[in-house]
């Protein structure tokens, strides 16, 4: 197996294709390439003459082969650091303002998993300085003296007539609690998978420290993802977010696509992350204006088989904006796309989908308003809004689609420097246009 230092680093931009020459794939690599689910996230195709074709889409991160480290780099949002900022804002709008990470490491740039490992290490270091959490745990044990409560039944069955061995139930303060176990398990994984030497040394040290506090083996990730936070453990929340991302992609609505777990694959679905990010922004921008923002709302009875009356399928826009109640309410569906639309037309499939949303949900019955739908897509530049309309033979517009570019790098910079209102005001201007109202 090729050592970490000998492994070539290959960078591929999202939504791009690259052919790498002189690639010697091992049997382990070929098994990984053939893993179900990987192809939908990152397509790897062995070619003749020791070449490897790489096709990336909206998944960014790192895939490690024995001789190659393939890094899929996000371009639309401004790099891997921006992905972490988006994830932090989606979970906690205040967090991104205090976000601070080095943009370069001593040797080469960090990939996404190393950055997350560094964030985890920083938060865990902070927890140790504050003092790790203790909690009371009930124990039943045989003791030489009474502690807590004596258990007469157990005493009679196990040590009848003896006074030097007493069966007791008592509460003991312990650091072997779920809050610490989650951090310890993530640090252990980071210690095995991190490639940046400085970060690897830090997480290994912290893994040893947390290993002395608790036993992370057999951690119940489902229980960990459902942790509730109060005054005793609220300070663990940032560390737990990074821990869940490293362990199984929990934390922010399944950031990672489903598939067989493999420590060599770490890929974030940017389409999902961008949707969560925009949804958070939209709620903060529009709720103060009295506009209700519903995410992934389901609507049946739109496409119906007339012969049977059965519903063909549901439609589910990414967002549905509403103001008011009943048939007269103002409504506007929003479709969120993480695609390269800054310099190209909307695809036919996305147009048809958006026109369906507009016709079904974007107009008030009994009015002359044109049905509307908004499309919000990620961009690394400022791009003017574009409108596409469906016109009947008489020339009247039956539906209108307006595509808006969200300049993600500029938005993240504004959020990180305390200018959230600037971002929210701009998004409200995009989405809260009420047409003929």
Confidence of residue 370 (pLDDT cuts 50, 70, 90): confident
Of the pLDDT bands very low, low, confident and very high (cuts 50, 70, 90), residue 257 is very low
CB atoms within 10 A of CB 205: 14
Query: Among 19-28, 252-261, 398-407, which stretch is predicted with the lowest mean pLDDT?
Result: 252-261
Neighbouring CB atoms inside 10 A of 195's CB total 21
Please state whether beta strands 42-47 and 166-174 pair in parallel, antiparallel, or not at all (unpaired): unpaired
CA distance 292 to 319: 10
Mean pLDDT across 193-220: 91
Say whether pLDDT at 252 is over 50. no
Residue 98 DSSP symbol: G
Give the architecture-level CATH label for domain 273-431: 3-Layer(aba) Sandwich (3.40)
Residues whose CB is less than 8 angstroms from the CB of residue 349 and which lie 6 or more positions away in sequence, other chains included: none
Banded model confidence at residue 4, pLDDT cuts 50, 70, 90: low
Q: Where in the chain are the domains?
A: 1-73, 135-174, 273-431
Task: Give this prediction's pTM.
Answer: 0.82
CA 324 to chain centre: 32
Residue 399 Cα to chain centre, angstroms: 33
Task: Spell out the long-range contacts of 345-353 with Cβ–Cβ below 8 A and sequence spacing 24 or more.
Answer: 346/375, 346/388, 346/401, 346/403, 350/375, 351/388, 351/401
57, 267, 410 from 278: Cα distances, Å:
20, 20, 14
Element of type H or E holding 391: strand 386-391
- Asked if pLDDT for residue 44 goes beyond 80, the answer is yes
CA torsion angle 256 259 260 266 (round to 10): -30
Question: What percent of the chain has a predicted confidence (pLDDT) above 90?
Answer: 47
E strands, 270-408, are 292-295, 299-304, 311-315, 319-323, 330-337, 371-379, 386-391, 397-407
Residue 435: pLDDT above 60?
no
Measured between alpha carbons, how far is residue 418 from residues 218, 261, 413 in Å? 41, 38, 9
What is the C-alpha end-to-end distance of the chain, expressed in Å? 67
Average pLDDT, the chain: 85
Across-strand partners of 43?
55
DSSP state of 365: T
Q: Give the phi and the psi of residue 385 in degrees, each rounded to 5.
A: -65, 145
Question: What is residue 129's predicted lDDT score, i.e. its pLDDT?
Answer: 93
CA 88 to chain centre: 9
């Amino acid at each position: 197996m090729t050592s970490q230092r000998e492994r070539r680093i290959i960078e591929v931009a999202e939504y791009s294709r690259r052919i790498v020459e002189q690639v010697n794939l091992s049997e382990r690599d070929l098994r990984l390439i053939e893993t179900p689910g990987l192809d939908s996230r990152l397509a790897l195709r062995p070619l003749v003459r020791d070449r490897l074709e790489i096709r990336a889409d909206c998944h960014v991160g790192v895939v490690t082969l024995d001789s190659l480290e393939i890094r899929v780099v996000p371009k639309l949002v401004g790099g891997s650091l921006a992905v972490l900022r988006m994830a932090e804002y989606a979970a906690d709008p205040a967090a991104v303002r205090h976000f601070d990470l080095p943009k370069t490491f001593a040797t080469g740039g960090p990939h996404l998993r190393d950055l997350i490992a560094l964030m985890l290490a920083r938060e865990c270091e902070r927890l140790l300085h504050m003092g790790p959490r203790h909690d009371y745990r009930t124990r039943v044990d045989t003791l030489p003296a009474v502690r807590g409560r004596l258990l007469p039944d157990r005493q009679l069955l196990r040590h009848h007539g003896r006074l030097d061995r007493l069966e007791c139930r008592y509460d003991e303060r312990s650091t072997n609690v779920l809050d610490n176990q989650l951090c310890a398990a993530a640090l252990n994984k980071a210690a095995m998978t991190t490639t940046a030497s400085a970060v690897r040394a830090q997480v290994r040290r912290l893994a040893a420290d947390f290993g002395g506090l608790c036993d992370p083996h057999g951690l119940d990730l489902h229980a960990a993802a459902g942790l509730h936070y109060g005054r005793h453990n609220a300070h663990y929340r940032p560390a737990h977010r990074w821990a869940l991302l490293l362990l199984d992609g929990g934390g922010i609505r399944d950031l990672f696509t489903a598939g067989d777990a493999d420590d060599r694959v770490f890929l974030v679905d940017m389409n999902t992350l961008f949707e969560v990010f925009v949804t958070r922004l939209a709620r903060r921008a529009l709720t103060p204006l009295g506009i209700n923002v519903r995410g992934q709302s389901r609507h049946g009875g739109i496409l119906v088989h007339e012969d049977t009356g059965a519903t063909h399928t549901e439609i589910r826009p990414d967002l549905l904006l509403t103001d008011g109640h009943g048939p007269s309410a103002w409504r506007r569906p929003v479709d969120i796309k993480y695609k390269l639309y800054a310099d190209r037309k909307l695809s036919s499939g996305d147009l048809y989908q958006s026109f369906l949303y507009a016709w079904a949900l974007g107009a008030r019955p009994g009015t002359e308003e044109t049905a509307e739908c908004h499309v919000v897509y990620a961009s690394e530049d400022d791009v003017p809004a574009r409108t596409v309309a469906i016109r009947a033979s008489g020339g009247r517009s039956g539906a209108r689609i307006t595509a808006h570019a969200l300049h993600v790098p500029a938005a993240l910079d504004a959020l990180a420097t305390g200018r959230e209102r600037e971002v929210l005001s701009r998004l409200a201007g995009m989405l809260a246009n009420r047409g003929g109202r």
